[in-house]
């Protein structure tokens, strides 16, 4: 049957007619018909309609259509911004060895969206496939940003240090550079290389970041000082976040840490005050790991 792209509607109609014969078809022919209906629909931007045919072709004759149907399905799920289904297709492509044929844009989008969804292992798994360690500047900055963050979140601190060192020289925006230095500091904290982490924090503070990033830098600064036994200085950092950073993720943690710092310096009344504020403003909040 002719399958040229110049007359796709006719091809789809003919293959539908073939499928209508039902029980008289071999598995191979039925798989072929389903695949090319799906292929034709994908080519004519009827992505949603193509899914059932492509999936059936792959199921009927995986040795022939596993890769080809999988790539079309991944492209369709990327186009329709269906993260859950695209994740399944990317993971299948990785498992079956054809992930290198996926468009970088689909991997980059899936990695970023997985990060925002809190699926950090998936984010790093996808973004690592886009990152070029040999030629870092050939990789978009966004890839290095979210790959670094995902690696930090999954505890892969050594790997995060490698990726963030590729990112820092590329950042020409001061706020973004401060964010990269914050992530570097978090990775160093995870490795218990506190002196180096403090240098990264100091470099970030010199850039005068504001908002959430500035608050994150202050939180890390306070945590490093608290770990070093500098309770009063740590408390000042946490108090800054409580007082000036309007962020519902950072503020409860800052209140809790501030209470800890005050307790360590012997100010039990101050510690109790901020514990009460934490309980009042964020009654459902729990420290990480509890």
Q: pLDDT tens for residues 146-199? A: 999 999 999 999 999 999 999 999 999 999 999 999 999 999 999 999 999 999
Give the pLDDT of residue 213.
98
Does any domain span residue 27? yes
Q: Would you place residue 290 in the very low, low, confident or very high pLDDT band (cuts 50, 70, 90)?
A: low
Q: pLDDT tens for residues 57-79? A: 999 999 999 999 999 999 999 98
Give the pLDDT of residue 4.
56
* Mean pLDDT over each residue of the chain, to the nearest integer: 94
Residue written as tokens 């160093």? 188
Does any domain span residue 26? yes
Give the pLDDT of residue 243.
97
Give the pLDDT of residue 13.
86
Alpha-carbon gap, residue 248 to 87, rounded angstroms:
29
Does any domain span residue 187? no
Give the pLDDT of residue 39.
93
Does any domain span residue 139? no
CATH code at position 59:
1.25.40
Give the pLDDT of residue 5.
58
Does any domain span residue 259? no
Q: Which residues contact 171 (CB under 8 A, 6 or more apart)?
A: 141, 177, 180
Does any domain span residue 290? no
Tally of domains in the chain: 1
Does any domain span residue 258? no
pTM of the model: 0.90
Question: Smallest Cα–Cα separation from 147: which of 116, 173, 126, 178?
Answer: 126
Residue written as tokens 């209906």? 37
Q: pLDDT tens for residues 91-104? A: 999 999 999 999 99
Helix (H) or strand (E) holding 57: helix 47-60
Residue span of the structural domain in which 83 resides: 1-102
Q: pLDDT tens for residues 198-252? A: 999 999 999 999 999 999 999 999 999 999 999 999 999 999 999 999 999 999 9
Does any domain span residue 283? no
């Amino acid at each position: 049957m002719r399958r040229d792209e110049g007359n796709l509607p006719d091809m789809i109609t003919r293959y539908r007619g073939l499928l209508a014969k039902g029980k008289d078809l071999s598995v191979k022919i039925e798989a072929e018909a389903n695949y090319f209906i799906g292929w034709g629909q994908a080519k004519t931007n009827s992505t949603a309609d193509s899914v059932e045919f492509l999936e059936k072709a792959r199921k009927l004759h995986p040795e022939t259509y596993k890769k080809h149907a999988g790539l079309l399905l991944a492209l369709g799920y990327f186009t329709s911004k269906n993260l859950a289904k695209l994740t399944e297709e990317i993971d299948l492509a990785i498992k079956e060895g054809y992930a290198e044929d996926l468009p970088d844009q689909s991997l980059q989008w899936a990695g970023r969206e997985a990060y925002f969804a809190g699926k950090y292992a998936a984010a790093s798994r996808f973004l690592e496939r886009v990152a070029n360690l040999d030629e870092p500047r050939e990789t978009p900055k966004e890839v290095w940003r979210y790959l670094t963050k995902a690696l930090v979140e999954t505890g892969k601190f050594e790997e995060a240090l490698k990726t963030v060192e590729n990112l820092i020289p590329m950042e020409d925006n001061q706020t973004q550079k401060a964010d990269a230095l914050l992530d570097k500091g978090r990775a160093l904290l995870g490795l218990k290389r506190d002196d180096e982490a403090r240098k990264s924090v100091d470099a970030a503070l010199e850039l005068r970041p504001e908002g959430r990033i500035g608050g994150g830098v202050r939180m890390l600064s306070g945590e490093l000082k608290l770990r070093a036994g500098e309770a009063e200085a740590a408390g000042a950092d946490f108090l800054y976040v409580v007082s000036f950073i309007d962020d519902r993720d950072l503020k409860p943690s800052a209140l809790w840490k501030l209470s800890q710092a005050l307790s360590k310096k012997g100010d039990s009344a101050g510690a109790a005050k901020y514990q009460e504020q934490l309980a009042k403003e964020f009654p459902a909040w729990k420290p990480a790991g509890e």
